[in-house]
A and B are shown apart, each in its own frame.
Chain A
Amino acid sequence: MSPAIEISGLKKVYTTGKTTKMEALKGVSLTIQKGEFFAFLGPNGAGKTTLISILAGLGIKTEGTVKVHGVSIDENPDLAKSFIGLVPQEFNFSIFEKVLDIVLDQAGYYGITRKEALPHAEKILKELGLWEKKDQQAQALSGGMKRRLMIARALIHKPQILLLDEPTAGVDVELRRSMWEFLKELNESGTTILLTTHYLEEAEQLSERVAIINHGEIIEEGSVQQLLSKLHFVTLLLDTVETINEAVMLLLRGEPLVRDEEHVLKLTLKPGDTINEVFRKLSSIGIHEKNIRTTGRMLEEVFIQLIEKK
């Protein structure tokens, strides 16, 4: 069985001037299996959008091979494109058109008549909370609704692979959570999802595997757990009973502790460090801990460490 996406030695060079060139992708190789939820993490300008554009047929690669469900995008681009639904980063629909028309027209480009597409359009628009707005021009929608409209449009031809380029950028927390739920359910129903994001929490919450991309190269790839195991240090937060003031911090000089808040200490453990030593020291100066927690930004720490290392 062929994978959902197979990328090998993918290079993209942009000509930015008469003689200046910019290498956006420097030989990226990657395989994504059918049914996977895969996240591409990277800072702005890392090459995420370039990669998505090439996969969706909007970008022209300089070198390398790309196969979608075993179909080469060079040999049969139209068939390869039929497997994919794209949710781009920027709004790219006519704001003067009605919501339902935008979705049904997209079905038409995939060879599905308006009549055939209507029941599925109704289902998706209802799931995404847009059915009530179906007869409104897209310009009347809020930012979050416009983003959901792009998801509805990408799903109208029931693609086997959904590409999302920073789908929750600029979306409020509540809406982001509901979009995550929607994407999880979609993935559970069998759709392969490739998502680019720089929200690390998003990658951690949704994806089984993550690739970290920077300056056009994949610098790390694996499951979220595998990436977390690469942490060179771990940051923990200690909630204390006593107030942490400057006098306490003087007594804790030399320990891997910094004051985070009035009753919170931040503890950074390097490989080989033991937590018992720190607790003994705290106890000796009369500081008692109520609770220990992680920062909740574990993947972010891996990300920062890897980016800085490279």
Chain B
Amino acid sequence: MKSPIFVGYLTMVRKELVRIFRIWSQTLLPPVVTMSLYFVVFGGFIGSQVQPISGYSYMQYIVPGLVMMSIITAAYMNTVSTFYFAKWQHVIDEILVSPMPSWAVIAGFVSGGIIRAFLTGVLVVAVSLFFTHLVIFNILILFAAAFLTALLFSLAGIVNAIYAKSFDAISIVPNFVLTPLTYLGGVFYSIHLLPPFFAKLSLANPILYMVNAFRYGFLGVTDVSIGRCFAVIAVFTLLMLLWTLILFRKGAGLKR
């Protein structure tokens, strides 16, 4: 016999899975197309002219960063759009009137984000095999970095959706915060190649640590120590979790 809360959680996860596959051309296909273009243009055309970095070809070097970029975007976009639409159409009331505790509701939404992030990550890795061969240095670190990052950005998507009062407000963060931080987060380069000032400035970007932890799992190379990478990811994830729980507890943006 399953616990009632677990049944509620599974219901939310099932619903998310059905939605992700029902609209696969919106949820799973776009990152595959975009990343294929990155592989062709940056890895193939431009990358062939670039010196190897840390002993790996440029294509091999950027694959982990690009996979991480798609994981971050998928996790964030899944929860921000699902949650905001549910709030906007009041569909979230179906869950809020039920006896499901806040943490279980958050877990349900976050799981949707993580599932979509993993599906996207696997598809992008599969596409990358057409351009380069796969190296896996440490699979545990690889999965831990992917999981924690997907968790962090799924939570961030919920927070954004809770505060959002319009559709514009759910596109501001991805366009003006997430994309610049990801592009400047060491996806396409090692920070050791930057002038000292910009190398130091890059250390203030949390996405740098996620990309490097993930790249370490694949290639065994990182710009910052792996311990520091996980410490930064863990602290940000915990803070985001606390923020989400507080917002749910207060009913901010959810209850009238």
Mark A residues whose CB is within 8 Å of B: 50, 53, 56-60, 78-79, 81-82, 84, 86, 88, 90, 92-94, 96, 105-106, 108-113, 153
Contacts and interface: CB of A to CB of B under 8 A. Distances in A.
Contact of B11 (A58, A84, A109): A109
A57 B8 contact: no
Interface of B: 2-5, 7-8, 10-12, 14-15, 22, 89-91, 93-101, 251, 255-256
A18 to B, nearest CB: 16
Nearest to A150: B94
A108 B8 contact: yes
Contacts of A94: 89, 91
B113 to A, nearest CB: 18
Contact of A90 (B4, B12, B90): B90
Contacts of B95: 109
A256 to B, nearest CB: 47
Nearest to B95: A109
Nearest to A92: B90
A136 B2 CA distance: 29
Contacts of B8: 108-111
Nearest to B4: A111
B99 A106 contact: no
A51 to B, nearest CB: 12
13 contacts: A53-B255, A56-B97, A60-B256, A81-B98, A84-B97, A94-B89, A105-B94, A106-B98, A109-B94, A109-B95, A111-B4, A112-B4, A112-B7
Contact of B256 (A58, A81, A82): A58
Contact of A86 (B2, B97, B256): B97
A267 B62 CA distance: 89
B62 to A, nearest CB: 37
A106 B4 contact: no
Contacts of A81: 97-99
A150 to B, nearest CB: 10
Contact of A82 (B12, B89, B90, B99): B99
A113 B94 contact: no
Given A109-B98, A113-B2, A58 B7 contact: no
A5 to B, nearest CB: 15
A190 B2 CA distance: 29
Contacts of A110: 4, 8, 98-99
A111 B5 contact: yes
Given A59-B256, A108-B11, A92 B94 contact: yes
A153 B11 CA distance: 15
A113 to B, nearest CB: 6
A96 to B, nearest CB: 8
Contacts of B251: 60
B9 to A, nearest CB: 9
Given A60-B255, A110-B99, 19 more contacts: A53-B255, A53-B256, A57-B97, A78-B100, A84-B97, A86-B97, A92-B89, A92-B93, A92-B94, A94-B91, A96-B22, A108-B11, A108-B14, A109-B8, A109-B12, A109-B98, A109-B100, A111-B3, A113-B2
